[in-house]
Amino acid sequence: MGRPVRRRLHPEARRLEIVEAAERLLQAHGPRVRVEDVVREAGVAKGTFFLYFPTWDDLLDTVRQRLVAEFDAASPLPTEVDGPIDWMALLDLHAAAYIDFASARQGIGQALFHSDFAERRSQADNAVVRLSAVIRAGQEAEAFGPVDPEPTALLLFAALDEAARAVAGGRDREAIVAALRLLLRRTLAP
C-alpha cells in the first residue's frame, strides 16, 4: 500500500484542503457525508480533521460561510449609484443568479439548509434579511409597491430557493425562471 506520506502544510492551506474536500463530497452526496469520508477525500488522518474543526457542525458552518461569501462575490448588490437603478431588472438578475448558483450546489444546500443540521443551527437567514433590505430600498425608490418587507421577503425567498431546487432536480430551467420572474414582478409591482 505504501505508507501515507505525511505532508506538512500551512494550517490555512490544510484547513482549506479539508473544506474543499468536504464541499466536493457534500455536493455529490448531500447530508450523508461523514467525517470518515471527508478525511479520506482530503488524504488526512481523522485526528487532523478535529484539529481544524472541533465539531462536525463547525465544518458545516464554515462551508456555509464560504457559500454565502462566494455568492456575494459573484453577484454583488450595487452599492454605489451610478445613475438610477432598475429595481425590477436587478431582482430578475439576482433571482436568476441565485437559481443558477444554488442549483449547481444542490447537494451542499441540502446538507446545510434542509437537514438536521439546519434544525440545530437555525441560521440567522441573512439571505432573507438582505432581500427585505432590497425590497425596502426599491420601495423608497418607488419602484416597488406597498408590501410588508419582512414577511414578503421571507415568502419570496422560499419561492426562490424552491426554484433552485427544482432546477437542480432537472425541471425546465426556463419555465421555472419565467414563473419566478412573474411572481416577483407581480408581487412587488407598484
Partner DNA sequence: AATGAATGAGGTTTCATTCAT
Partner DNA sequence: TATGAATGAAACCTCATTCAT
Binding residues for DNA (CB under 7 A)? 3-9, 11, 14, 34-36, 43-51, 54-57
Are 51 and 8 in contact by the 8 Å Cβ rule? The answer is no
Give the number of other CB atoms < 10 A from CB of residue 48.
17
Min CB(123)–DNA separation in Å = 19
| Residue given cell 462551508 in the structure block | 63
End-to-end CA distance of the chain: 68
Partner whose footprint covers residue 44, from a copy of itself, DNA, none (CB < 5 to 8 Å by kind): DNA
Q: How far is CA 27 from CA 3, 46, 86, 102, in A?
A: 29, 21, 34, 11
What residue 182 binds from a copy of itself, DNA, none (CB within 5 to 8 A, per partner kind)?
Answer: a copy of itself
With cell 465539531, the residue in question is 55
84, 57 Cβ separation under 8 angstroms: no
Is residue 179 at the binding interface for a copy of itself, with CB under 8 A as the rule? yes
How far apart are the C-alpha atoms of 3 and 48, rounded to whole Å? Answer: 17
Q: Does 133 bind a copy of itself (CB under 8 A)?
A: no
Whole-number minimum distance, CB 115 to DNA, in Å?
Answer: 11
| Residue number with CB closer to DNA (14 or 185) | 14
Please state the closest distance from residue 44 (CB atom) to DNA, in A.
4
Query: Within a 13 Å sphere around the CA of 65, how many CA atoms are in the beta-carbon half?
Result: 7
Q: Give 69 or 171: the residue with its C-beta nearer to a copy of itself.
A: 171
Is there binding between residue 178 and a copy of itself (CB under 8 A)?
yes
Q: Catalog residues that contact a copy of itself under the rule CB under 8 A.
A: 30-31, 110, 114-116, 118-119, 122, 147-148, 150-152, 154-159, 161-163, 166, 169, 171-172, 175-176, 178-180, 182-183, 186-187, 189
